[in-house]
Amino acid sequence: MQQLNLLLTSLPDGLLLGFVYGLAAMGLTLIWGVMNVINLSHGPIITLGMFSTFFIYTRLGLNPYIGVLPIALVGLLLGILIYTAAVHRVINGPHLSSLLATFSVNMIIIGLGTAALTTSPYNVDFSAGSFKLGNATILGTRIIAAIVTLAFTGGLYLFLYRTRPGKFIRAVANNRAAAELMGVPSTRILALSFGIGTMLAAVAGGLIATFFPFSILSGSGYELKSFVIGVLGGLGNPIGALFGGLILGILEGIIPAFIESSWVPVIEFVLFIFILLVRPSGLFGAKK
Partner 1 sequence: MALLEIKDVTSGYGDVQILWGASLSLEKGKLTCLVGGNGVGKTTLLRTVMGLIRPWSGVILFDGKEVNKLSAYTKAEMGLVLVPEGRQLFTDMTVHENLEMGATNQRARPNFQRNLERVYEMFPRLKERSRQKAGTLSGGEQQMLAVARGIMAEPLILIIDELSLGLAPVLVLQLFEGLKLLRQEGITILLVEQNVQLALTISDYGYVLAEGKVKMEGPARKLIKDKHVRSTYLGL
Instruction: Enumerate binding residues for partner 1 (CB under 8 A).
Output: 167-168, 170-171, 173-175, 177-185, 287
| Beta bridge pairs of residue 131 | 138
Q: Determine contact, residues 235/29, Cβ cutoff 8 Å.
A: yes
Helices assigned H by DSSP within 83-175: 95-117, 140-162, 164-174
8 A C-beta contact, residue 4 and residue 130: no
Q: Smaller CB distance to partner 1: residue 26 or 179?
A: 179
- By C-beta, is 130 or 281 nearer to partner 1? 281
Looking at beta carbons only, is 88 or 170 nearer to partner 1?
Answer: 170
Q: Which SS3 state, helix, strand or coil, does residue 271 take?
A: helix
How much is the CA Rg of the chain, to the nearest whole Å? Answer: 19
Between 61 and 183, whose beta carbon lies closer to partner 1?
183
DSSP-derived letter for residue 175 is: -
For residue 170, count CB atoms less than 10 angstroms from its CB and return exposed for 0-12, middle for 13-18, buried for 19 or more: middle
Q: How far is the CB of 191 from partner 1 (least distance, A)?
A: 16
Q: Kindly tell me which of 142 and 287 has the beta carbon lying closer to partner 1.
A: 287
Quote the least distance from Cβ 159 to partner 1, whole Å. Answer: 14
CA distance 4 to 10: 10
Asked whether 242 and 153 are in contact (CB, 8 A), the reply is yes
Residue (75 or 236) nearer to partner 1, CB: 236
- The residue type found at 46 is I
Q: Within 13 Å and on the Cβ side, how many CA atoms surround 61?
A: 0
For residue 194, the tally of other CB atoms under 10 A from its CB is 30
- Which lies closer to partner 1 via its Cβ, residue 160 or residue 196? 160
- Work out the burial of residue 83: count CB atoms within 10 Å of its CB; fewer than 13 is exposed, 13-18 middle, 19 or more buried: buried
Task: Decide: 31 and 189 in contact? Cβ < 8 Å.
Answer: no
**Nearer Cβ to partner 1, position 18 or 233?**
233
CA distance 13 to 265: 17
